[in-house]
Amino acid sequence: IAISPVRPIEELPDELISQIAAGEVIERPASVVRELLDNALDAGATDIRLRLIAGGVRLIALEDDGRGMGERDLRLSIRRHATSKIRSLHDLESVETMGFRGEALAAIASVAELRLVSRTGEATAALLLDARSGELEPAARAVGTTVEVKELFFATPARRKFLKSEQTEFAHCLEAVRRHALARPDVGFAIWHGGKLQQQWRALAHATAADHAEIAQASLDKRIAEVMGADFIEHSVPVDHQEAGVRVYGRAGMPTASRSRADQQFSYVNGRYVREKTIAHAARSAYEDVLHGQRQPVYVLFVEIDPAQVDVNVHPTKIEVRFRDGRLVHQAVRHALDLALAPSRALPADDGAG
C-alpha cells in the first residue's frame, strides 16, 4: 500500500476551484449547449440560433432575442455564484427558472474562451465582454444576447481526451436542443454545424389560458411531430390527466412505436428535462401490460406540479430532481398512461416495428 506523504493543507487557487467545479457541470460540448439554452429561455427568448463548429469543440455560438444584459449584469454574469434568479433559501425552495446556481457561465469561462455580446431594450448599443481579459467594448447587435464559447477544454487536455468524434459530440448537442425544443413549442430553434443548417423548428402559437387549450395542444403535437418524426404522432396517443395536484400530459407511444433501446423517452418536470426514477418506474409499470419482452416504450411526458413540491437542487446539472411525495407523482403518471393506453391493451401487441 502506498502511503501518501504528509503534506500541509493548502487552500486551492481560485482558478483551480473553478476548474474542479466546472468538471461537474461541463462534461462535453452538449453540456455547454444545455446551459446556454437554459439561460436563453430564462431570459424570455422566442428565437434561438445555435452555431457549432467541430462538434462544438471549436465553437458554440448561441444567439437569443431575450431581454439582454447591461454593463453591470454582463460583468457579474461570469462570476461564480452570481445569479439574477434566486435571492434566498426561500426562492430556492420553489424555483421556476431553469437556472439558479449562478455557475454555468463561470464554469464555461474556466474551461473555454468565452465572449458575450448583449443588449437590453433600453440600451442604444450592445456591449461585448471578453471573459478572459475582462474587457468591455461597444458592439453591434439587436436586443438579446450572443454567447460565444471557443476551444472547449483547451486548458484541460485531460478532459479534451475524453471527447468523442465531432459527429458524436454534435449528436449530443442536437439531443440537448431536441430536449428543450419539445418543451417549448412557442420558441423557434435553428442549429448549424460547420456552416450547414441542420435543423430548424419555427416558433408555434402558444396559449396557456385554459380556453386556448386546443391551440397549446396543437402546437405541442406539431412540435413533437417535428422533433420525433411525423410517424410518432400516428403511433402514439395523447396523454392528459390530472390528480392530486399533479398534471401529466404529452404523448405516449403505442406498442407499434416501441424500440429495442430506451433512447426515446422524454420526461419533464415543470418544463425541465429530467431523468427521474419515479416517473421512469411509473411509465415502465404502465407499459408492462402492453409491451412484449425487451421492447422499450417511446414517450414525451410533462409533469406539472407545485414547484414547492420538487427539489431541483440535488444534482449539479439538475437532470435529477426529488419529489416531496413521490407516491403522488408515481400514481398520477401511472394513471395518466393507463388511461391513454387502455385502447392499446385490447389490441395484440406488435413486435415488428421500431
Q: For residues 75 and 222, which CB has a smaller minimum distance to ligand ADP in the complex?
A: 75
Residue number with CB closer to ligand ADP (22 or 163): 22
Query: How many Å apart are CA 207 and CA 198, to the nearest integer?
Result: 28
> By rule CB under 6 A, what count of residues binds ligand ADP?
23
Report the residue from 84, 198, 199, 217 that binds ligand ADP according to the rule CB under 6 A: 84
97 counts as binding Mg ion under rule CB under 5 A: no
Out of 105, 291, 303, 312, the only residue in the binding site for ligand ADP (CB under 6 A) is 105
Question: What track of x and - describes contact with Mg ion for positions 303 through 342 (by CB under 5 A)?
Answer: ----------------------------------------
Q: How far is the CB of 117 from ligand ADP (least distance, A)?
A: 10
Q: Which does 178 bind (CB under 5 to 8 A by kind): ligand ADP, Mg ion, none?
A: none
Give CA angle at 47 (120, 206), nearest 5°.
Answer: 110
Q: How far is CA 72 from CA 81, 105, 180, in A?
A: 15, 15, 29
CA distance 151 to 157: 11
What's the order of all strands across the beta sheet hosting 236-243? 236-243, 246-253, 299-304, 265-269, 272-274
Q: Does 184 bind ligand ADP (CB under 6 A)?
A: no
83 binds, among Mg ion, ligand ADP, none (CB under 5 to 8 A by kind): ligand ADP
Q: What type of residue is 115?
A: R
In degrees, to the nearest 5, what angle opens at C-alpha 29 toward C-alphas 98 and 66?
A: 40
C-alpha cell at 56: 462544438
**What one-letter code names the amino acid at 12?**
L
Give the shortest CB-262-to-ligand ADP separation in angstroms.
30
Question: Residue 43, interface with ligand ADP (CB under 6 A)?
Answer: yes
Amino acid at 70: G
Q: In this structure, are strands 188-193 and 47-53 parallel, antiparallel, or unpaired? A: parallel
User: Which positions touch ligand ADP (CB under 6 A)?
Assistant: 35, 39-40, 43, 64, 66-69, 73, 77, 83-85, 99-106, 145
